[in-house]
Structure 1
């Protein structure tokens, strides 16, 4: 196809217009550098003219409250919204900024076979859910706090509460001992050798002191995890609590926690403080969360 042969599609939707643009971009990509440069200069000139026209139009409409309201209603149309966003006349919506923040961490999640889904936006609260290998992973708490939560807070300071919803819980691979959030992979310093793997009894917990901190280590099937030895309720030590089916019950006030993820089953809004765990052969190392 060449530019002369190009025939626009039936353009009644945003997808139709975008399809035409993508077809033209594919055509331009086959041109030589001089031709591509001319097309790019032409595009920038047209877009600059349009952007300035839109800015002047909006300034004029702002003087009339009724006209401004009409423009806001018109912007609910997907094509109008896309063009105004393209020229930065409208700022990105909160949902778009949250998605952009999640996009910034998705490559790291994908490297471990996982992803994160934006479930709901109800300012100042959003809800997210891990999928794939991140769903049910023992390091999901670290991934949530060190990756997802941090990215959203930096991009959207008006969001004050980020809730992690439970997924199907089937994403993890139990064929081998698993240990680490993808956001811990770059952490080369700060690891402490704490014990041998065979020193952690199946279905129970042991305590260790790591860097002056009292922690518990748990081994539930193929999952090895490490948490601060402190109930999220009042900070009392929980290592003496009963462990049954991967759940530890605080001996003081009965709060229950999932030893795979640290999630509090009694009060889902809190959880145990998780620490990074690395298992190499029979060596178990821990890196304290900051």
Structure 2
């Protein structure tokens, strides 16, 4: 008896995140992806089930063969040789399609947070992964806009969203406090101004509809606001960031913001690219209090007391 289609774990052929693929290989992946979609439309149920059963057999053969091949390469040349082999864009893409090699939890977490580190750096912050154990991720968030209302919560939320998306075994995020500063009094060679975020009111929460993308220009800064699942996100309005091509003309597909000019796809919760492109959106800290939305559009100097 032929197994039903829903029981067949056929690999999904889609455009992986690997870069450096030859154009002809990209086109082949796209063709294979659309081919699988067309197979879903086969009207004869038995023929459709037999086709997917055949694909399942190919999938199992490839997965087992590639896994054993990686084991042989590692036995012959160690993990270094296996890593060198997987650096080839085509080989890496094929391995990624079958989730090979299986990375340890720490590596999976680091990969999931690749798009988050630049976000922290852009706000003068630092993200450290302290440990991963059975899906429980311990991190330290430090130096990020200290004293800003809502900022710590915003940054922690960005990390959690990235882990939920990119780390399949994620269970819990534990954000530990940064160590206290040294108690010794530093030698001051003059009074230097301190810096703090400059918060600007951009509207009321009730005026921003769920799923709405709104373009604003507070103090000459072109940005866009997006409200999704009760949260508000702010990004510089351009694709790529700094471009005159306005991103607010795009559309939302679930949590994905699609650029109207290039078709670039961004996770609106993190600003991270979802396709194979490089870079991400330039995020701005958001704070909501008493129904008022504020965005940090820059910094201002404050003389120390």
Shorter-chain TM range is 0.3 to 0.5
Q: TM-score, normalised by structure 2?
A: 0.38
**The structure with more radius of gyration:** 1
Which structure has the higher relative contact order (CA within 8 Å, separation 6+)?
2
Q: TM-score, normalised by structure 1?
A: 0.40
